[in-house]
Amino acid sequence: MKMLKKLLAIVLTGAMALTLLTACGGNAVRDKNIADALNDIAKAKGEKVTFTPRAKERELAKKIAELSEKERSKTKEDGNNKLPKKVMEILGLNKGGANEESCFVWYGAVFADEIGVTGQAYNVMNNILSKDAVNADKLEGEPADIRYIGTALDTLTIYGKQTTVRIIVVTAPVKSQESQNPGKA
């Protein structure tokens, strides 16, 4: 009986240790975790925006992650935009695309290895969302307070080393004129 208790204690200790390890690194982080951390950061900064994970944005991020590294790094030749043509098409920002004139779109990649949810969310807030949306110059008005987010893991060669990154896509519809100017009809 004592031997069984000792064996059970060892097995349980091992199982608990494994559950702790599964929360480490970039692979265990989900869109909801990033959105929750972004909401906490926005609240701390006094910004009245809400981040919500959504399948549409997750699919966009996955499609971008499926592109080769070379396809993602080519810039448009006409100089109008710094994003590659294929990325523009996936994001619906190409001429006649679904998001070209109806939705603010932010896109980028952040390191995913060894920094956890808060580190990734901080990088999203400071390196992606602090900049104008990719198509901000084509839209009139401000982004709505609800921001939809989707992510996908990928690897990029950085300084000659394969590095895990999280592709981030954030969208926000344009605020209606009515909500921007209450009382004016």
Both tokens of 113, joined, read 């290895």
Residue carrying structure tokens 């969310």: 121
31-45 vs 116-123: helix axis angle to the nearest 10? 60
**Would you call 87 helix, strand, or coil by DSSP?**
helix
- pLDDT tens digits, the chain, 185 residues: what are they? 777 666 555 655 655 554 444 444 444 578 999 999 999 999 999 999 999 999 999 999 999 999 887 777 765 544 445 688 889 999 998 888 888 888 999 999 898 887 888 999 999 998 889 888 988 888 888 999 999 999 999 988 888 888 899 999 999 999 874 444 444 43
User: Would you say 156 and 165 are in contact if contact means Cβ atoms under 8 Å apart?
Assistant: yes
